[in-house]
Structure 1
Amino acid sequence: MSKGLFITGTGTDVGKTYITGLLLKKLNDAGFNSAYYKAAMSGNEKDENGDLIPGDATFVKNISGISQDVKAMCPYIYETAVSPHLASKIEGSPVELDVVEDNYKRLASQYDYIITEGSGGIICPLRYDNKHYLLEDVIKLLDLPCLVIADAGLGTINNVVLTIDYMKTRNIAVKGIIFNRFHPGDVMEEDNKKMCEAYTGVPVIAGVKNDSKEIELNGIFLASLFE
């Protein structure tokens, strides 16, 4: 039976896609049959034929080495670099949760482990018209536990604690925190780890240095986080 894990972040540009690629690389290198999924992807460029290229999906595929077809990774792809709810108002094709679920189930029939990446931070509107969907609706729909990606630097205590507190009030399971742009031995960043764990009760399971090609996590441990 397929298992899943959801990757969210404390905000935009904290490195969710980069970390997701490293996590999938770890699973792939350890021999786990794994895949990538993202419900909605904004800020994509067009190829020479005018077709949108799913940038995050392409990046993850390249860094992880997984064989999955990029076209199966994301059902909603937008060009405008804004939240999916606004991108779909501009471009059309608003997110439908049954489409998100059906595409996920299709992957679940083919892969043992699926990492689903969110858009932006945890409070990201996916649709706001006659229907109102937030990122958390996808998490609950697919019944996934989460990892939270955060920048290791100044301000992360506030961002991490607020993000995880919000998730807990929504009964969303958080399995761990990963610090991106981490400098081992840095007094402030080491203290950030300690404070985030103390105030959330959630462990910081890894710190990823700038431009790392690997994440220092055991593949079997990583697989154990999936449900």
Structure 2
Amino acid sequence: MTVIVVSGTGTEIGKTVTTAAVAALALAQGRSVAMLKPAQTGVAPGEPGDAGEVTRLAGEAITTLELARFPEPLAPDTAARRAGMAQVRAHEVAEAATKLAASHDLVLVEGAGGLLVRYDDEGTTLADAARLLGAPVLVVASAGLGTLNTTTLTSEALRARGLTPLGVVIGCWPSTPDLASRCNLADLPKAAGTQLLGAIPEGSGALSPADFRSRAGSWMGPELGGVWNSEAFGGREGPEGARS
């Protein structure tokens, strides 16, 4: 896979940390990596955004590109309109990712919010960019109550558009998982119709870059360059394991 689109089932669920972990593992394998952020919202000029956070955690060797930045924390189409700035188009995202793929082994395209957040007044979304690219979509989901519904909706939206869900990563696994979170380890793959590829512990983004990179492999499955095993993790963190 040269291009992977990273989308969430909502906001603030760990997309950027997940993107950084995948990038760190690829860099550790000697691959050249680029991260594309089509629209950064809620960040003022000169302030570090998601691309800067990925660079900080994964390493300076990564190439980053931000197509647009809007100051208000809103959907990209609304944020652009309110700022009087040009909106991002799906074909621009695809063209930028394709150009990066020509000189990098892996390109990670990190969306804003969920899969169907609008980028422009025509209603194009990250899903449209993924379709133009023919790229698989890595879904980042939350751990707890409600995630089965949002993950199912995201997966159904992907398949309805002829897109391939690469798998699901839990973007913020709680240090003290409740019953719903523990049960969701087994239920998320069924809801998504695809495999669970990792679980990133909460607070991982606050680790030092060296610790983040050294631990990333334990959070991600072999498909993403790590050693995480869903069955072993589920046995340790699931309802039975939690009671033992």
Q: CA shift at 1:220, angstroms?
A: 6.0
Distance in 1, Cα, partners of 2:170 & 2:222: 20
Normalised by the length of structure 1, the TM-score is: 0.85
Within a 5 Å distance, the mapping from 1:95-110 to structure 2 comes to: 95-110=88-103
Q: Which residue of 1 aligns with 2:76?
A: 84
- Within-5 A mapping of 1:38-77: 38-47=37-46, 53=47, 55-70=49-64, 73-77=65-69
Deviation (angstroms), 1:201:
2.2
Alignment of 1:1-227 (within 5 A): 3-47=2-46, 53=47, 55-70=49-64, 73-91=65-83, 92-128=85-121, 131-183=122-174, 186=177, 187-212=179-204, 213=212, 214-215=215-216, 216=218, 221-222=223-224
- Judge conservation of contact 1:25–1:65 (CA < 8 Å) in 2: yes
Q: Is the 8 A contact 2:197 2:223 kept in 1?
A: no
Residue number in structure 2 paired with 1:50: none
Q: Distance in 2 between matches of 1:69 and 1:87?
A: 25
Q: CA–CA distance in 1 between the matches of 2:187 and 2:49?
A: 34
Aligned to 2:230: none
Structure 2 counterpart of 1:7, one-letter code: V
Give distance in 2, aligned partners of 1:134 and 1:219. Answer: 28
1:84 Cα deviation (Å)? 0.7
Percent of pairs with identical residues: 25
Instruction: Report 1 or 2 for greater relative contact order, CA contacts < 8 Å, sequence distance ≥ 6.
Output: 1
Structure 2 Cα separation of the partners of residues 218 and 164 of structure 1: 20
**Contact 2:42–2:73 (Cα < 8 Å) also in 1:** yes
Q: Distance in 1 between matches of 2:200 and 2:222?
A: 18
Shift of 1:153: 1.5
Cα distance, 1:202–1:69 mapped onto 2, change above 3 Å = closer
Q: Give the unaligned 5+ runs of structure 2.
A: 205-211, 227-244
Amino acid in the other structure paired with 1:181: C
Q: 1:221 to 1:200 in 2, by over 3 A?
A: closer
Unpaired runs of 5+ in structure 1? 48-52
User: Does structure 1 conserve the Cα–Cα contact (< 8 Å) formed by 2:35 and 2:63?
Assistant: no
Number of matched residues? 214
SS in 2 for 1:39: strand
Farther off after superposition, 177-186 or 36-45: 177-186
2: CA distance, partners of 1:178 / 1:155: 15
Q: Distance in 1 between matches of 2:118 and 2:164?
A: 20
SS in 2 for 1:133: coil
Higher helix fraction (1 or 2): 2
Shift of 1:64: 0.6
Per-residue deviation, 1:13: 0.8
Q: Separation in 1 of the partners of 2:88 and 2:36?
A: 14
In structure 1, the residue corresponding to 2:112 is in which secondary structure? coil
Q: 1:217 to 1:122 in 2, by over 3 A?
A: same
**TM-score normalised by structure 2 residue count:** 0.80
State the Cα deviation string for residues 25-51 of structure 1 (Å, max 9, x = none).
Answer: 11112211111012111111223xxxx
Conservation of the 8 A alpha-carbon contact between 2:40 and 2:70 = yes
